[in-house]
A = this chain, B = another copy of it.
């Protein structure tokens, strides 16, 4: 252990050209990421279709997540959800300023 690091440190003061991904833990079949969105929707075209399960929450900001065939869900500070592998999804809105900060825990089917 090397002391604490902060989920809200180093947030951008202006809109980012692309979303920012910071890996907080990369561990066997688990990856924990901080994602910073400033108005981004993703992917720009089509859907995410992932091999891994994903637990995700919004730590700060506002977002909208669309699940294929199930419509959109608004996510605000503290809201979390679980996206099973191959559940097609996309982000249709994120708050620009202050930035939207996500925490994602990806669980892969096998150790990597």
Please report A residues at the B interface, Cβ cutoff 8 Å. 1, 3-9, 24-25, 27-30, 32, 53, 55, 57, 59, 67, 70, 73-75, 77-84, 87, 103, 105, 107
Contacts and interface: CB of A to CB of B under 8 A. Distances in A.
Nearest to A25: B55
B32 A1 contact: no
Contacts of A107: 27-28, 30
Given A55-B25, A107-B27, A80 B1 contact: no
Copies in the complex: 2
A65 B73 CA distance: 36
A24 B55 contact: yes
A96 B62 CA distance: 28
Nearest to A84: B1
Most buried by B among A5, A53, A78: A78
Given A24-B55, A55-B24, A105-B105, A79 B29 contact: no
A8 B60 CA distance: 12
Q: What are the nearest 10 A-B pairs in CB distance?
A: A4-B79, A7-B78, A8-B78, A6-B78, A4-B81, A25-B55, A30-B107, A6-B79, A1-B67, A4-B75
